[in-house]
Amino acid sequence: MTHASIRTTQGRGRLYDTILDTVGDTPAIRINNLAPEGVRLYVKAEFFNPGASVKDRLALNIIEAAERAGTLKPGQTVVEATSGNTGIGLAMVCAQKGYPLVVTMADSFSVERRRLMRILGAKVVLTPRAQKGTGMYMKAVELARTHGWFLARQFETSANADIHEATTAREIINDFAGDRLDYVVTGYGTGGTVAGLARVLRQERPETKIILSEPANAALIASGVAQGRGPDGAPVGSHPAFEPHPIQGWTPDFIPLVLQEVLDSGGYHSLVPVKGTDGIAWARQLAAREGILTGISGGSSFAIAMQIAEQAPKGSVILAMLPDTGERYLSTPLFEGIPEDMDDEERALSNSTPGYQMAAG
């Protein structure tokens, strides 16, 4: 009998000055057990970022772009509206750089997100869920104006798409150099990821089709209804096509200005709706069959990637974006029905040997 050699590692060949230097360079990982025969399916695992989500990239660049421009002063408080991941990324960046941070967030988002931001030193101001994303956005604007704080403006700032153009897209180009890449699948929150990818892939890999997805019950783009905007590009009012959906981090109740660039330039090949229940189901499949723990947003991107994989020509190569980790969803429907205590099968296993058994409760 022969055995494969033991895996070895050699370190990264460098020392890091701060946690912020570890943002980016996330891996593209092949899907082996779930992918249909004849296609190669990969996921870009953004939970390898230090704050465990793709939003670490824009959080870092928003702060550093403001530092370069002189619009963020030393010690000035930063404020932003977020469903959680941008806030966690900003909390990490602000903690390291010494900026106070205040986050506004609708109370419908998972409690673990609030706690993560708070342990990183941020203050979290909750807004009523009935006021949706617009409510938390306007609260951040009010706080910035009243107190003279720096408003991060993730939904409008050019620093958002710029960092995905400079890092996320370049990583994909380099990882698939000399190889096929037929489809890239992503959803949108701010629109920064798809905008940055479109800028690069349309120029350097024009054969690659960018597939954009949005919740089936909150199909803002598919509705064809334009978003009302103020003179600074900020949204005016909630979009009429919005309904609450379980894909946290995707599709606020307005079309962000950052995403508008993609809509105006035709920066995607097709738009495919996804049900939140499908996103949850495929996130669970990724965990149980591939050992890849992603959130509902990642499960939703993967759901569309699987649809494409089933219909794509043999030999096709598909990449799905996984924005964050499943651990950010412990209190959400993703973990519904996942018990804390032993089930009957686990209890039977415990009882199959005489020792070290839990007493009946």
Residues serving a catalytic function are: 55, 297
DSSP state, 14? S
Token pair for 248 = 């946290």
Q: Of 227, 247, 246, 222, which is closest to residue 238 (Cα–Cα)?
A: 227
SS (H, E, C) 133-147: HHHHHHHHHHHHHHH
In this structure, are residues 80 and 152 in contact, taking their beta carbons and an 8 Å threshold? yes
* Residues 6 or more apart in contact with residue 247 via CB below 8 angstroms: 187, 215, 274, 276, 279, 296, 297, 300
Helix (H, G, I), strand (E, B) or coil at 231: coil
Which residue do the tokens 């947003």 mark? 297
Q: Which residues of 127-156 are buried (b: 16+ CB within 10 A; e: fewer)?
A: beeebbbbbbbbbbbebbeeeebbbbbbbb
User: Could you please report the per-residue DSSP string of 138-183?
Assistant: HHHHHHHHHHTPEE--TTT-HHHHHHIIIIIHHHHHHHTTTS---E
> What is the Cα Rg of the chain in Å?
21
Produce one character per residue of 214-230: b if its CB has 16 or more CB atoms within 10 Å, e if not. bbbbbbbbeeeeebebe
Q: Tokens for 249, please give them.
A: 């981090």
